[in-house]
Structure 1
Amino acid sequence: MPSGNALSRRALLGVAGGALAAPAIVRAQDAPIRWRLVTSWPRGQAGPGVTAQRIVDRINAMAGGRLVVQLFAAGEIVPAFSVLDAVSNGTVEAGHTAALYWQGRIPAAAFFTTVPFGLGPIEHQAWLSLDGGQALWDELYGEVGVKPFLAGNTGPCMGGFFRTPIESLSDIAGLRVRVAGLGAKVYERLGATPVTIPAGETYTALERGTVDAVEFLAPATDYELGLHQVAPLYYAPGFNKPNGASELLVNSEALAALPEDLRRVVAEAAEAEHALALADAHSRNAVALRAMLSEADVRLEGFPAEVIAAAEEAARAEIDALAETSDLAARIVESYRAAQARMAPWSRLEADMARALARV
């Protein structure tokens, strides 16, 4: 017969075992945390639409059923340009979009997508990840209760499709151009009329002549939109959008409510997608550009030097004005410009080497 001490030890072990096992059983039975993620893109759109779906799929896979995210395309819950508001006010927990859309509300937001004559994709990622840019972004969006993550990139953008030739600076004046972000301000300074149109409406607007030109993204997305079918002139370089970064927005309270490991899942899903999206964009853009030039009556054109020079001057003036809107905006501009100046010599040499190798 067991001694009293042995019995007591067994009883204690049983209680301890039960105490340790109970939380595991409770966790297994807990309902999953459910999030809704809205986007500024048509469902599955080449580039950002595909990226949004991959982010959702990656989070769901890594979370193992504990966090379940459902994707909604532009207009299914909120309009394309209402994603920030929806995440900020808690209508949804997350969104995938582009920071430049919030320039009217948050003037410095455009720096976290792209600015005219600014950082390229790798430079932009270096600024955010290594040179203090992310802390400034967190501070900027923290004012509206949102945590931003770099989450996808379509690569450098094209100058867009134009219905009529641009042979001099005077040809810009009076044009109605679909363009967003600081690029819209630059075109306005050049005498054009910027027009804000969601991605899904660009084809119809260009076809019907509601706009004279559409600047959207890079060849893969432009090709999918069919813009080459209604405007024959495809201009480069995309001076107003040298980068094509997108953002994953998460409501700060929703993110804080997650366990630490699930917060890390969200961050890692965004980071992994950014790397994949940029590689995907490079490959897709090459294929799409070749297809447009061979399948349709499309001419690849370069903006005249005087247009580029005037646009660069206008961009500099616009950024200087933006820096005066707040102390935080001034710090963002200063940090961004410092990063650009620091990386410029290597970036120029890298571009020269790429051009030389392309001729080999």
Structure 2
Amino acid sequence: MIRRRNLLGAGLLGVGGAAASFSTPHSSTSVSAPSVNRQRRRFNMVTTWPKGLPGLGQAAERVGQRIAAMSDGLMEVKVFAAGELVPAFESFDAVANGSADMYHGAEYYWTAKSPAYPFFTAVPFGMTAQEIMGWIDFGGGQELWDELSAQFGVKSIQGANTGHQMGGWFRKEINSLDDLVGLQMRIPGQGGDVLRALGGSAKALPGGEIYQALQTGNIDATEWVGPWNDYSLGFYREAPYYYGPGFHEPGASLAVGINRKLWDSLTAGEQAVIKAACESVNHTSLGEFTYQNAVYLDLLVREHGVKLRSFPDDVVKAMAEASRDVRADSGKDGIEKRIYESFEAGLKTMANWASVSDGPYYAARELGRKG
């Protein structure tokens, strides 16, 4: 008897034309059946992350591992850190032109391709992790994302989420809006546009280049992710003031991008495996970042003397006002306008729910802890 598991695998990865034979349970009669042609697939994945980076780098590795596991090893993914196959910020082009099969990265790195790409990672004063998952999966975001990325020959899927990020590491305290004027900071996407609107200078550097830029004084401040990832890159050694909240990335979604021609060549089963693997890692990463950030924040403060700070109210207010303008400027016509309008409508709907759910609960929990 052919095992049921093998029959399921055959449906997943195709059926060949040759014949096999087996006997029925109640007869010795030989019955002819099509043999299974289990096609093997091998993919190269480039990433925007430094080699061995916890969290983000691990998420890319997990996507590959889970694709392999879910396909019984018939789909293999070799993961390359930034610079191993292509530089970090060339990952998108490598996948679009077919020199790599997949990328794992942050969609706001591709703003030069379209100003709407940041909506699929994070925008200032935008959606939390749960909200962006809600919008993409249930509010029409994935369909718009597909339409945008198809213009460049790419299919994109959520492949990790960092949760709420921190506002960044600063050499000096930020006491007023004047302290942002002339500030040179590593901050990509629309967060960088907000800083520019307030008089600062923003640079988009890949993770592997940030520490040296901070160390040499080429930048005065940097944001990256949160305590877990930031600790691994050692920013606390150069900039002792750690600011929150991260107005620019309230819930950063990372993506797996796949060459569109390759994606279209896959069977429905193969596509389902990749989607399921990405969805699984998206879930895992959010829980992992939430826990590990708590552990490493304590470590940074207790053992390394990091000085936690909050942005002053006037700075937050100015950031919020600039953020509304920056978001609107990125969606003035065409597909960009439709993405912006869909995002804003989803944000309004879910913010109304958060105002009676998450926000009041966090305030009540904190009151209870102090009481």
| TM-score scaled by length of structure 1 | 0.92
> What pairs with 1:337-352 in structure 2 (closer than 5 Å)?
337-349=344-356, 350-352=358-360
Give the whole-Å Cα distance in 2 for the aligned partners of 1:208 and 1:291: 26
1:265 paired with 2:278, answer no
CA distance in 1: counterparts of 2:103 and 2:313, whole angstroms? 39
Q: Helix, strand or coil for the counterpart of 2:62?
A: helix
- Code of the aligned partner of 2:242: Y
- Distance in 2, matches of 1:118 and 1:251, equals 28
Q: 1:17: Cα distance to partner?
A: 4.1
Detail structure 1 runs of 4+ shifted over 3 Å in the superposition: 14-18
Tell me if the contact between 1:47 and 1:153 (Cα under 8 Å) persists in the aligned partners. Answer: no
Deviations 1:77-134 (A, max 9, x none): 1111111111111011111000010112211000000000000000010000011011
Q: Which residue of 1 aligns with 2:66?
A: 58
Secondary structure in 2 matching 1:246: strand
**How far does residue 15 in structure 1 lie from its aligned partner after superposition?**
12
Residue 259 of structure 1 and its aligned partner are, at CA, apart by 1.9
- Residue 76 of structure 2: SS of its match in structure 1? strand
Question: Does the alignment pair 1:163 with 2:160?
Answer: no
**Partners of 1:303 and 1:254 in 2: CA distance:** 46
Q: Supply the distance in 2 between the matched residues of 1:199 and 1:33 (Cα, whole angstroms).
A: 30
Among candidates 114, 126, 129, match of residue 134 of structure 2: 126
Corresponding residue of 1:137 = 145
Instruction: State the match for 1:314 in structure 2.
Output: 322
Which residue, out of 61, 81, 97, partners 1:89?
Answer: 97
**Alignment correspondent of 1:9:** none
Cα offset for 1:174? 0.4
Of the candidates 188, 204, 213, which is equivalent to residue 221 of structure 2? 213
Match of 1:176 among 184, 187, 201: 184
Secondary structure at the counterpart of residue 323 of structure 1: coil
The C-alpha deviation readout for 1:116-175, integer Å capped at 9, x for no partner, is 000000001000001101101000101011111011011111010000111100100001
Distance 1:104 1:15, change over 3 A: farther
Identify if the C-alpha distance between structure 1 residues 16 and 182 changes in structure 2 by more than 3 Å, giving closer, same or farther: farther
Deviation at 1:351, TM superposition (A): 2.1
User: For each residue in 1:289-315, what CA deviation from the matched residue of structure 2 results, as whole angstroms up to 9, or x when unmatched?
Assistant: 110001112110011111111111111
Q: Distance in 1 between matches of 2:342 and 2:29?
A: 58
Q: 1 CA distance for matches of 2:354 and 2:227?
A: 23
What is aligned with 1:336? 343
Pair 1:327-2:334 in alignment: yes
> Would you say how many aligned residue pairs link Structure 1 and Structure 2?
341
SS in 1 for 2:330: helix
- Structure 1 counterpart of 2:347, one-letter code: Q
Whether the 8 Å CA contact 1:62–1:265 is kept in 2: the answer is yes
What amino acid maps onto 1:54 in structure 2?
R
Cα contact 1:153–1:246 (8 A) shared by 2: yes
Once residues 153 and 126 of structure 1 are traced to their aligned partners in structure 2, the CA distance between those partners, rounded to angstroms, is: 13
What is the root-mean-square deviation in Å for CA atoms of aligned residues?
1.7
Helix, strand or coil: the match of 1:293?
helix
Select the residue among 109, 112, 124 that pairs with 2:120.
112
Report the CA distance between 1:44 and its aligned residue.
2.8
**Letter aligned with residue 114 of structure 1:** A
Q: How has the CA–CA distance of structure 1 residues 158 and 61 changed in structure 2, closer, same or farther, with 3 Å as cutoff?
A: same
The answer as to 2:193 corresponding to 1:185 is: yes
What does the per-residue CA deviation read over 1:243-295, in whole Å, with 9 as the maximum and x for residues that have no partner?
12100101111112122211100000001111110000100000011100011
Do residues 74 (structure 1) and 77 (structure 2) align?
no
CA distance in 2, matches of 1:61, 1:78: 26
Q: Of 278, 289, 294, which aligns to 2:297?
A: 289
Aligned partners of 2:158, 2:98: CA distance in 1, in Å? 20
TM-score by length of 2: 0.89
Contact 1:80 / 1:198 at 8 angstroms: preserved in 2? yes
Higher share in helix: 1
Displacement of 1:64 in angstroms is 1.4
Shift of 1:205: 1.3
Letter in 2 for 1:339: G
Letter in 2 for 1:147: K
SS of the residue corresponding to residue 355 of structure 2 reads helix
- Picking from 285, 288, 302, the partner of 1:277 is 285
Partner Cα distance (1:16, 1:139) in 2 = 51
* 1:35 equivalent in structure 2: 43
Gaps of 5+ in 1: 1-13
